[in-house]
Amino acid sequence: MFLGEFSHSLDAKGRITIPARFRDELEQGVVLTPGYEQCLTIFPQAQFAALSNKISEMSYAKELTRLYQRRMFGRAFEASLDKLGRVLVPTVLREYAGIDSEAVIVGLNTHFEIWQPERWSDSVALQDQNLEAMLAEASRSGV
């Protein structure tokens, strides 16, 4: 499981160090994609393959499916961690997320996200503001 929040710097080449506790699950590599709310989503290869299978089952005849597939696969990048546990974040994804030198890595159980620090702070504030509604939704979903 990917859990927790970590602040990290990107080096001059655009590499970010992945938290040590995440690395064992990433030995087979990762897939970086544009996430929602202008963050980046990082999947272990196996998790992304499972998601890809589900997306492939969606009807390609539907415009929203094609748009979603383009979003998920068109700007997705495969990567491996280097010996120091870093992964290169491609320029197009750094620009999309507004990440330059600092970032926040947030674990989300089966995958994790990389956020520009101010955007992450705004997201936390929104989470706090909507806590009651989120708890009600979780209750309706049986969580």
Provide the β-strand partners of residue 79: 30
pLDDT above 90 (res 142)? no
pLDDT above 90 (res 143)? no
Going by pLDDT thresholds of 50, 70 and 90, the confidence category of residue 123 is very high
The pLDDT mean for the chain works out to: 95
The C-alpha atoms of residue 33 and residue 90 are separated, in whole angstroms, by: 10
- pLDDT by residue (tens digit) across 30-89? 999 999 999 999 999 999 999 999 988 999 899 999 999 998 899 999 999 999 999 999
Read off the tokens for 112.
């994790």
Residue for token digits 């709310």?
37
The C-alpha atoms of residue 126 and residue 73 are separated, in whole angstroms, by: 28
Return the closest-CA partner of residue 106 out of 12, 46, 16, 27: 16
pLDDT above 90 (res 1)? yes
pLDDT above 90 (res 21)? yes
What element of type H or E holds 128?
helix 117-129
Backbone angles phi, psi at 4, to 5 degrees: 105, 175
Domains of the chain (ranges plus CATH)?
5-117 (3.40.1550.20)
pLDDT of residue 54: 92
pLDDT of residue 134: 85
Largest CA distance in the chain: 46
The C-alpha atoms of residue 114 and residue 94 are separated, in whole angstroms, by: 10
